[in-house]
Amino acid sequence: MMTSRVPAAVDALLTILRAAAGLSDVDIVDGPTALNLTRLKRIHVGWQPGAESAVALEQSFNAAGARTRDEVFQIACYAEARAGDREMKARRDEVFALVGEVETALRATSAAPMAPTLNGTVLWAHLTAGDLTQAQAEGSAAGLAFTVTCQARI
């Protein structure tokens, strides 16, 4: 018996992002990774700096009889753009463009009609929150912690 759609949804989100044409030059990382400053653009799925959880979930019965349950969960994600210069505006624009590509990848298209359902693993998924950070240290960096919220039935 399936107890959660979280594992399948995280796997599907990684698959969708790794296949997105607009993210072909971006490292799509499953969870946290060791810091590698040679990679200039990254998106982490299931990790945010300082976050207490990779995915927060809540379940409840959807009707009397306890046959199925509704599950709502938020997948913590993080996008980062960095360079050796001090041009913060450029990094900020880049990181928002990265998250824009994530949002585009989650929209239904003729080529990917199941993207909003994370390839059928959930009822729907969409971006719901974001938090921008900026830093100057050996160049400029902008990070955008964002959340992909999903609704599923199990």
pLDDT in tens, 108-140: 888 888 889 999 999 999 999 999 999 998 899
What integer is the mean pLDDT of 31-57? 87
What integer is the mean pLDDT of 95-107? 96
The model's pTM is 0.92
Q: Is the pLDDT of residue 107 over 80?
A: yes
Q: Is the pLDDT of residue 68 over 70?
A: yes
The residues facing 72 across adjacent strands are 58, 151
The residues facing 45 across adjacent strands are 30, 77
* List of domains in the chain: 6-153 (3.30.2000.10)
DSSP 102-145: HHHHTS--SS-TTGGGTTTTSSEEEEEEEEEEEEESSSEEEEEE
**Do residues 130 and 47 make contact, with C-beta atoms less than 8 angstroms apart?**
no
